[in-house]
Amino acid sequence: MYGLKTEAAFDSAHFLADYYGKCENLHGHRWRVVVYLQQEELQKESTMRDMVLDFGVFKKAVRDLAEELDHTFLVEDGTLQQATIVALESEGFSLTVLPFRTTAENLARYFGERLIEQGLPVSQVDMYETPNNCAIWMRG
Ligand SMILES: [Zn+2]
């Protein structure tokens, strides 16, 4: 079994609806995402022979996804009034509306699933919302 690991970071605001604590309020994090690939055998042909995947391809895929979310406000669909969304967008703010609660656990799974869709053999994603707190998604 072989593995690769790379990481990226993005700055995004969020809040947790129906949460009784500080995270209910709008706040930001520097999210750090670490992605692990796992593959039984190395590739056999052409430029990626004896590699799990070219690091350039791997890093770009993770970085592109992080850039989609960078400097946006992550909003769970249905947790803000439509008028609020319209008002924020009319002020020029960038929102990323997601179909799940914007916990670190769900963001880790989101990265894992999006990268698997692109054909990457993702085995695990670590999503740090602070330097000490990290949620982990593992491919089931
Ligand atoms: Zn938070």
| Structural domains of the chain, with CATH | 2-13+28-138 (3.30.479.10)
Between the CA of 102 and the centroid of ligand 1 the distance, in Å, is 8
Indicate whether 24 pLDDT > 90. no
Between the CA of 100 and the centroid of ligand 1 the distance, in Å, is 14
| pLDDT reported for residue 19 | 83
Task: State the average pLDDT over residues 93-106.
Answer: 97
Query: What single-letter DSSP state applies at residue 48?
Result: G
Between the CA of 11 and the centroid of ligand 1 the distance, in Å, is 11
Between the CA of 42 and the centroid of ligand 1 the distance, in Å, is 38
Contact 7, 32 (CB under 8 A): yes
| Percent of the chain scoring above 70 in pLDDT | 100
Q: Tell me the CA end-to-end span of the chain in Å, nearest whole number.
A: 17
The residues, ordered by sequence, that sit 6+ positions from 108 with a Cβ below 8 Å of its Cβ are 33, 125, 126, 127, 135, 136, 137
| pLDDT reported for residue 104 | 98
Residue labelled with tokens 């799990």: 52
Indicate whether 78 pLDDT > 90. yes
Indicate whether 83 pLDDT > 90. yes
Between the CA of 27 and the centroid of ligand 1 the distance, in Å, is 6
pLDDT band at 18 (very low <50, low <70, confident <90, very high): confident
pLDDT band at 20 (very low <50, low <70, confident <90, very high): confident
At 113, give phi and psi (nearest 5°): -70, -40
Between the CA of 73 and the centroid of ligand 1 the distance, in Å, is 11
Distance CA 83, CA 139 (A): 38
Q: Which amino acid is at 129?
A: E
Distance CA 127, CA 122 (A): 14
Indicate whether 122 pLDDT > 90. yes
Indicate whether 21 pLDDT > 90. no
